[in-house]
Every structure is written in C-alpha cells, then in structure tokens.
Structure 1
C-alpha cells in the first residue's frame, strides 16, 4: 500500500499540516482537535514531525490510538534537509518540507511508547533534575561564608535529600509493579559497573536496547566516534549525537567498571600502553558496556565473567 507522507510542524498551541492530497491546514494542538483531524486522513497516511520537547504529546497519543504510523525525526536532520533545499523558515514551509523529507527519505516509523516505560522515564528525569538541584545547592554552600545563608542552604539540601529518597522509592515501586521492566533491570545490573540508577536510565531512555545491532546501539547511546576525513586531512574523531542521559550514566558506569580486575581492567591496560588518553579509555569501556547490555537483553541471559 502506497503511503502519503504528511508533514506536521508543531508549536505549543497549533499544528501546521501539509497533506499533498489537500494542501495546508492549521488545527489546534489539543486532543479533541487532533482526533477529529486524524479520523479523516485515512490509515494510508504517514505523519512526519520533529521531536520537539513535549509539544507533540497529543499528536503521538492520537496517532497511536488511530493506528496511523508516524516518525519523530531529529530536528537537526530536518534543519539540514531544509538548508539543502535553500528554504526560508515559516511554519507552513516547515510542514511542506517535512512531508517532502518523508516522501524522499522513507524514514522508519517510530514505535509507540510503552506507557510503563514512559512513566519510568518521567520518574528518572525527575530524579535527575533533583540531583542537579542538589549539586547546585552544594556548590552555593561552598561559595558562601554567611552563616544565615549556610543554614538556609543546608535546610534546602536536607529537603532535596528527602525528595530524592522519595523518588527512588517510587522508581522501585514502579519496577515492582511491572515485572518485565524489573527483570530487564536485574539483567542489566549483572554487568560490572551498572548499578540501579544506570539500569533505570538505560531502560527509560534507550527502549531499543536488545533489539538492534551493536553499532546502532552505540550510536543511539552517543558512544560511536564519527570520522572527519577529507582528501589528505584526517581529523580527530568525535562522538556523534545520542541520548545524553544514557551517555552520562554509562561514563560513570565505565569509571566504576575500570576497577574490575579481569574484564575491563585488562582492556584499559592495553589502551594505556598504546598511549590512549584517559577519557578515550573511559568512553571505549562505556561502549563495551552498552554492547554487552544490548546482548544481555537480546539473549535474556545474565552477564557472567569468565
């Protein structure tokens, strides 16, 4: 069945839509407005829009309920595509550009989110926010010598500690209520370096784990070096874009895993002998960890050291 790619430019209040069959239209970014529109476009439609914050939540939910395939593309990819066409930037033009992007590139559809995993991601994100607030308050406490401010900051830190503990308890309760996620978290924790927090971050922000090959999972985790070569020039490889939450947690997991005497310690020693910088070694170990995690969830078998 031939699909019609429909471009949707999303803002907080409105959706600008370009359907090649009937042209442009604008609707309210509400559940009711989107439901009415989706009822009339047919199941042969394929929606293309950019992954911009949470403004697309009504559209994602509506498309999933109506069983209409969609793809949330990286906004950077959309921007580069528009630049290649030398297009100006307006909401209407962006919608037409996204429809053309879909028709020419045939992107793979985005899988509808698992509600249990989405809730876990929300809890994990809130924990991350509170931990960053805690770090900021600790830095402020170090920078002030005024007693009254020190007391206020210590009170703030105490309150944040209580809130973080509460979120940790909610995450544990959520895993207990969803045995499949709990089982996956247990499998991930069998890998040296991966603790409860990293396991949750990976499950929450990397749903493709265990379903794609090792190169794809490394790229999604932001741990795949990108070549920079042209003619005789061979630039230094840098990490490509990926899930920042996952990369940050895996970096810390790699630091912990480096203490493992047999598995990662030997690999790190070989890289040191080869003259690799410390950060390069840590990133290499992080990539090994995500590759192992991918295999562990794929095979549903706990990791075991030789």
Structure 2
C-alpha cells in the first residue's frame, strides 16, 4: 500500500522529537533548526515523514521538511489513537508513539502536507490570537457582571475591568482589520462571492477561506462538512441500542461555532435553508437538529459558490450544493 522507500513516524514535543523509521528504527533529535538538519541527513530519497497535528510543535518541522522537498504527512491524532487502541498496545512512550505513527502510515494512504503561504500562516496565527482574546473578553464581561451583582462594586475594580475590555475590543478590531487586508491580497473575489450567500458574514467568509485554503483542500461539500464536524453520526446495534443521532464534533470547533451563528440568520433570509428548517421542525424534530442541518446546508452552499466562481443564485446553488 505504501509506495515510499522508507516511512518515518515522528512524535514531537516542546524540546525533542522522536523518529521511528520503517527500516532504520528509532532516533531522537532536538526540536530546533539544528535538530531538523540532523534529521534531514538520515532521510533517504523517496521517503515520507508522518507526524500528528500537535498544535504549534509540528508546524516548524513540517514546513522545514516541505521546503527541503521531503514528502510530509500531518495526520489526525484521533485516527492514530484509534489505531493504537485497535492494536491493544499496553506501552505508551514517545518512542512507541513514533513507531505507531510509522505503522499507521504504512497501513493507510496518508494525505500529503501542503505548506502554508506566508499570508495563510499569518492568517491562522491571527485567528488563534483572536480566539484567545475573545475568551478573555468573555471572562472580563462575566467578571463585570459578577461585580455588578454585588450591589456596591468597587469603583477601582470596575474601572480596571472596563479598561481591560476596552483594550481587548481595540485589539480584536485590529486583528479583524489585518485579516481582511491579508485575505484581500489573494482572495478578494472569493471573499465577495461568499458574502452573497444569505446568512454568511464577513468573519465567517474570512475564516472559511483561511482554513480551507480557498476551498482547494476539498473535492466535495461532504468532505468539507466532515472536516468541520457537522455531519450526523448514528449509534445503532441490534434491537436494543438506538442512540440519538449527533454531530461528529471531530473537526474545526471555531468554524463550527461560526456556522451555527450564521444558521440563525440563514433560517430567516436564505430560502433553501428556511425551507429545510421548517421541514425538519414540522416533522417533530428538535430545533437544534434543524439548525445543525441548516449549518450543513449553508456550508455546502458556500462550497458550491466557491467552486463555481459565481455569485449566489437561489436556484442554481441548490443544484450544486447537493453534489
């Protein structure tokens, strides 16, 4: 199944990364530029290096190898975890994890990594920072509300919290302005097109473009919905197990939350989404389930618009969205 001369599995942490080669065995290197170069020296021609998506730690190594023309795959940690559980492994170390990633890559057709452009990389950093600031602002607002309920809040504490919130508001506005500036450099046309979809705002359009690399990472709308994590999962077994259908939630949480917010507006102003929502509710299903279906529909509409390169048309996009 694997077409490469040698497959390497990498388990990476803050200071070091463990490597297990299908023929060369185990090695360990420092997680820095010097360690990257040392690792590069042991790689034979036609090798592939697989690693888990581990937040910040895997990114530098993946970018370094990609720029040095090494085949790289960044795999889903959950898939590797399930693979390890299936083998009933009793030992968990950095070395064993690297070996497991290697074996997983040998047994599966793992996707190749596409490096981010400088614009894409900065956009993702900005979104991570935005998410952090949004959480801080929510915490600050909750703290202000808590102080108000005391009846006689400390003026010093309340003013400090107001200054903190004002500062976060300013930073968030600056981040959104910078994001808009960056996306306009490469994807202005697509940004305009996505906002023609009733229910999709500028922030969601921005985020969609960034995380999907202009929708180039996906071939179908169904693949995109699976990535976001708004596809239903069913739990049934025999005659006794009849679990409730739920969304998978294995995907991009931030994008999923934005789409749910957009779904409320889509139910009012998007003809296809409105009809879908009413049809599900009229069947006696919950409103939450109907909103999930609307979010799914909305995402497929965005995919259809991005791939067609045409502005939203209620009749035309409905046909494309079903594909």
TM-score in terms of structure 2 length: 0.89
Other-structure match for 1:269 = 278
What is the aligned counterpart of 2:304 among 295, 301, 305? 295
8 A Cα contact 1:218 1:287, kept in partner:
yes
Q: Pairwise CA RMSD of aligned residues?
A: 1.7
- Quick check: 1:150 aligned with 2:152? no
- Number of residue equivalences: 304
Instruction: Report deviation, 1:74.
Output: 1.6
- Runs in 1 of length 4+ with deviation above 4 angstroms? none
CA drift at 1:149: 1.7
| Cα displacement (A) at 1:199 | 0.8
Contact 1:9–1:16 (Cα < 8 Å) also in 2: yes
Report the more deviating stretch, 255-264 or 94-103.
255-264
Q: How far has the Cα of 1:194 moved from its partner?
A: 0.8
Aligned equivalents of 1:2, 1:297: Cα separation in 2: 34
Report Cα offsets for 1:76-109 as digits up to 9, x if no partner.
2212211222221011111111111111112122
Tell which deviates more after alignment, 68-77 or 187-196. 68-77
Q: 1:168 to 1:2 in 2, by over 3 A?
A: closer
Residue 115 (1) aligns with residue 124 (2) = no
CA separation of 1:2 and 1:159: change in aligned 2, threshold 3 A: closer
Q: Is residue 254–residue 289 contact of structure 1 (8 Å, CA) maintained in 2?
A: yes
Residue of structure 2 aligned with 1:213, choices 189, 195, 220: 220
Distance 1:237 1:272 in 2: 16
| Partners of 2:10 and 2:50 within 8 A in 1 | yes
1:72 is paired with a residue whose SS is strand
Residue 212 of structure 2 is aligned to residue 202 of structure 1: no
For residues 175 and 165 of structure 1, the distance between their equivalents in structure 2, rounded to whole angstroms, comes to: 16
The separation in 2 between residues aligned to 1:107 and 1:119, in whole angstroms, is: 26
- Matched with 1:284 is 293
- 1:13 matched residue in structure 2: 15
In the superposition, relative to structure 1, how do residues 33 and 261 fare at CA in structure 2: closer, same or farther (>3 Å)? closer
Deviations 1:240-274 (A, max 9, x none): 11111110110011111111163322221112111
CA contact (8 A) 2:183 2:206 kept: no
| 2:169 counterpart of 1:161 | yes
* Structure 1 pair 261–90 and aligned structure 2 pair: CA distance change class (3 A): closer
Alignment match of 1:228 (pick from 218, 229, 235):
235
| Aligned position for 2:320 | none
Matches within 5 A, 1:89-104: 89-104=92-107
Cα deviation per residue 1:272-303 (whole Å; 9 max; x = unaligned)? 11112111111111000110111111111121
**Residues 219-258 of structure 1: CA deviation (Å, up to 9, x unaligned):** 0111111121111223211111111111011001111111
Q: Residue in 2 aligned with 1:127? A: 130
Q: Which secondary structure does the structure 2 equivalent of 1:303 belong to?
A: coil
Task: Give the deviation of 1:65 after TM superposition.
Answer: 0.8
Structure 2: runs of 5+ lacking an equivalent: 316-323
CA contact (8 A) 2:208 2:214 kept: no
Aligned positions of 1:20-99 closer than 5 A? 20-87=22-89, 88-99=91-102
